Amino acid sequence: MSETRPPADEQDLPLVAPFTAADVDLAERRCLHQGFFRLEELHLRHRLFEGGWSGRVVREVHHRHDAVGVLLYDVERDTVVLVEQFRAGALDDPDSPWKLEVVAGLVERGESVAEVARRETMEEAGCEVGELIELHTYYPSPGACDERVTLFCGLVDSRGLGGVHGLDEEHEDIRVHVLPFTRAWELLQAGRLDNAMCLIAFHWLAGERASLRARR
């Protein structure tokens, strides 16, 4: 039976992590699949919090491009712009594999995250972004995937937006929705906005919306 330990005092937690990649002994890295994404099997051991080393550990890691998400917000009209498209990873979703999301895309070599945000907004929503506000950079699932996501709020003029967009060569079929913030928040509360980018971005916007609107 594992020993029960008292929780650490939050004030004692360092701002910098106690370990780095130098505290991992990587014995083998094996490619299991190479397609648009890469799947690797890692054989490793790592240092332990109470000293010493772990036993040999085997983990599979899904290697992806880093990604960018953009919540498009019209300050003047208090509306948000969302996109809807089929998602293969949600094929077994009990409701639908078509998901409402913020604009998003992958970072290609040589691109900055801000460039990706503006490019994807035009490709997916037919819209130009004014001010870009960077929110967070985070790992959606670091236990199994190396992807890092940078999330923005992009200020836009939502008048005239809508229709179906996307690149034919990427098999994109993306429908654009312009919604009052209050309606979008209802959808979030009802579980319709059920992906990490939406949840994080909308909770940020809920806290900052009044100050953004006061800047008009």
For the residues of 74-112, what is the DSSP string, one character each? ETTTTEEEEEEEE-GGGTT-SS-SEEEE-EEEEPPTT--
Which residue, 167, 172, 201, is CA-closest to 184? 201
Among 139-143, 154-158, 168-172, 187-191, the minimum mean pLDDT is found in 168-172
Name the least confident of 14-18, 72-76, 79-83, 152-156.
14-18
d(CA 13, CA 206): 29
Task: Determine the Cα–Cα distance for residues 167 and 107; give it in Å rounded to an integer.
Answer: 16
Which residue segments constitute the domains of the chain, with CATH numbers given? 21-63 (no CATH), 67-215 (3.90.79.10)
Q: Which percentage of the chain shows pLDDT scores above 90?
A: 86
Q: Does residue 120 have a known ligand-binding role?
A: yes
- Residue 4 is classified by DSSP as P
Q: What is the pLDDT of residue 131?
A: 96
Query: pLDDT of 2-48, one tens digit each?
Result: 555 555 555 677 888 889 999 999 999 999 999 989 999 999 999 99
Task: Summarize pLDDT for 92-122 with one digit per residue, the tens.
Answer: 999 999 999 999 999 998 999 999 999 999 9
Residue 28 labeled ligand binder: no
142 token code pair:
């670091």
- Per-residue pLDDT for 146 more than 70? yes
CB crowding 155-184: b at 16 or more within 10 Å, else e: bbbbeebeeebbeeeeeeebebbbbebeeb
Select which of 10, 50, 169, 170 is catalytic: 170
Residue 104 counted as an annotated binding residue: yes
The per-residue pLDDT of the chain, averaged, comes to 93
Give the residue among 97, 89, 95 at the shortest CA–CA distance from 140.
89
Q: How many CB atoms lie within 10 A of CB 87?
A: 14
Identify the DSSP state of 6. P
Calculate the CA 108 to chain-centre distance.
Answer: 16
Report the C-alpha gap between 62 and 34 in whole angstroms: 10
Question: 3-class secondary structure for 172-189?
Answer: CCEEEEEEEHHHHHHHHH
Name the pTM for this structure.
Answer: 0.88
What's the rounded mean pLDDT across residues 175-200? 96
Q: Is 60 annotated as a binding residue?
A: no
Is 134 among the catalytic positions?
no
